[in-house]
Amino acid sequence: MYLISDKLVELVEKHSDQIIKRWIEHLKIDPTTSSYHLNMEYLGEKAEKILGQLGRWVSYDTSKEEVGKRYAADGIELFKMHVPLCEAVRAMYLLRRTLWLFVESESAFNTAIEMHQMKELSDRVILFFDRAEYYLIRGYMEEMNRKIKDTWSLNAEETEKIFFYRSFYKQ
């Protein structure tokens, strides 16, 4: 199914390198993302997997489960890299914001159809990023729970006093 916002998705995919460069420059100076300052290459690669394939990720054909598996795995990886959860979420927010500012600056939206394109893209991007952030947090918490169990030899019942069972992606 071709949506009218697909034109804007193609714009983002075509210029993903520019958007990523702007995002990384912002992260470098943002004190709320200081854990990433040593991992800029990693961030660039992750952002390219999102923006370079934006059409896939914002497609209504991409299931929640597919997004869930990918971003829960990223959450686990970020925990293992010792990136604070608040910084991981902040970086995702800044990527979405940088993407949106790029689209606004590079697109003319004077007609009703162009305005609809922008709204449709906004809806698709917000839905994707909301899902990605949700599963990233779940994966991160799941790995944190595992680490706590291993470090202090706790069982599931003991860690459920901190991490509620429904908190985890894998149940």
| Range name among 11-25, 61-75, 154-168 with the lowest pLDDT average | 154-168
Q: What domains are defined for the chain?
A: 6-140 (1.10.490.70)
* Res 169 pLDDT > 70: no
Mean pLDDT confidence for 90-98: 96
Question: What pLDDT does residue 6 have?
Answer: 86
Residues 116-143, mean pLDDT to the nearest whole number? 92
Does this model's pTM top 0.75? Answer: yes
Range list of H helices, the chain: 6-14, 16-29, 40-51, 54-58, 64-80, 85-106, 112-152, 156-159
